[in-house]
Homo-oligomer: A and B are copies of this chain.
Amino acid sequence: MAQTSTGLQLRSTVRPDGSLELSLVSVPTPEPKPEEVIVRMGATPINPSDQGLLFGGADLSTAKASGTADQPIVTASIPPAALKAAAGRVGQSMPVGNEGAGVVVQAGASPAAQALMGKTVAILGGAMYTQYRCIKAVQCLVLPPGTTPAEGASCFVNPLTALGMVATMRAEGHKALVHTAAASNLGQMLHKICLKDSVSLVNIVRRQEHVDLLKKLGAAHVCNSSAPTFMEDLTEALVATGATVAFDAIGGGTIAGQILTAMEAAANRTAKEYSRYGSTTHKQVYVYGGLDTGPTEIVRNFGMAWGIGGWLLFPFLQRIGADAAQALKARVAAELKTTFASHYTRTVSLAGALQADAIADYGRRATASKVLIDPSA
């Protein structure tokens, strides 16, 4: 199979001089082992969770293009603080891309691998911004007939994160949840899951147009953090839903603390007597993203029963175990065109991902703006 013997792969390197270099390299496609298959990648998204590895904290406003149209190179400078965080990867040419979908074009000798020949599959595991990805057959999620790679490209990160939030809410004894940056692709998915599963969700957004968007999708509680009445609105929504856990995509600034403050106000609304330590209801914010990379500021006016912490998909999947994770994946495949449908602002080739206008798009980190790479283009 000559056409699959080598393929282009996007690489990200933090150079010893403190700059970022993005480039395409030609890599040999490995011969699959008996239990492995080769997937010709047809679609792989640039998720917020890819951007840390992809950009290494570089300031994209300094991005400069060079190289050729087929083999473009992008360089950008990395601010000192981000460079310190990237110290562990200096000089390493790193493949990127958490997830994607494509068609199995070559298979190892095992029956499980052979059974996948020609199938469209979704896969997770890094190094997806590539033309040919070798992976174990057992890691492939076979998509329902009639599903395109573009439709299956985002089967894991957003769907499993949204499902993981609801599962975490239940496991930790909360009865409703709060979500920030709630008009995002992930936020819309979470809204659809909650609607389907009858879970109360308080959506927090920053712009009126996102309030309108979520209301149009049927969201019952949408609070605009830019509104002067935000804290009152949020407290009312928390009283109405009883939400005591939040998932925050923003990280920096005051929003995590504001949510705890409003949760405390909601808890005290029904308190029968004064407690010097605040309400005894445990109030939790999980930070799962860093749209605002600045410091987190917390005004501790919410008693002592509170927590803020990081939340990440992969440790969550390890905690619940393989069977529970497989059940979540099967649900994603079954509801791929409804609950878990993703929307993209644009589709680009691997070379196109390294063009100035595409990079300007990433740099915005805007809600509901999302780029899909088609490595076969």
Question: Binary interface profile of A, 290-302, with partner B (CB < 8 Å = 1, else 0)?
Answer: 1001011111110
Contact for A297 among B251, B296, B304, CB less than 8 A: B296
Number of copies: 2
B residues near A288, Cβ cutoff 8 Å: 304
B residues near A277, Cβ cutoff 8 Å: 52, 312, 314
Q: How far is the CA of A41 from the CA of B124 in the complex (A)?
A: 67
B residues near A297, Cβ cutoff 8 Å: 295-298
Indicate if the CB atoms of A271 and B305 lie closer than 8 Å.
no
Given contacts A251-B300, A299-B295, contact A315 B307 (CB under 8 A): no
Measured CB to CB, the nearest residue on chain B to A254 is B295
Question: Binary interface profile of A, 316-358, with partner B (CB < 8 Å = 1, else 0)?
Answer: 0000000000000000000000000000000000000000000
Interface membership of A376, Cβ < 8 A? no
Measured CB to CB, the nearest residue on chain B to A286 is B307
B residues near A304, Cβ cutoff 8 Å: 288, 310-312
Measured CB to CB, the nearest residue on chain B to A275 is B88
Interface membership of A85, Cβ < 8 A? yes
Interface size of A by CB at 8 A reads 43
Measured CB to CB, the nearest residue on chain B to A96 is B276
Indicate if the CB atoms of A309 and B306 lie closer than 8 Å.
yes
Given contacts A88-B274, A268-B88, A308-B309, contact A298 B301 (CB under 8 A): no
Interface membership of A226, Cβ < 8 A? no
Measured CB to CB, the nearest residue on chain B to A268 is B88
B residues near A280, Cβ cutoff 8 Å: 315
Q: How far is the CA of A263 from the CA of B315 in the complex (A)?
A: 19
> What is the distance, in angstroms, from A92's C-beta to the closest C-beta of chain B?
7
B residues near A301, Cβ cutoff 8 Å: 81, 84-85
Given contacts A305-B310, A307-B310, contact A252 B88 (CB under 8 A): no
Which A228-275 residues have C-beta < 8 A from chain B?
251-252, 257, 268, 271, 273-275
B residues near A7, Cβ cutoff 8 Å: none
State the 9 A-B residue pairs at the shortest beta-carbon distance, nearest first. A307-B309, A304-B310, A88-B274, A89-B274, A296-B298, A304-B312, A53-B276, A295-B299, A306-B310
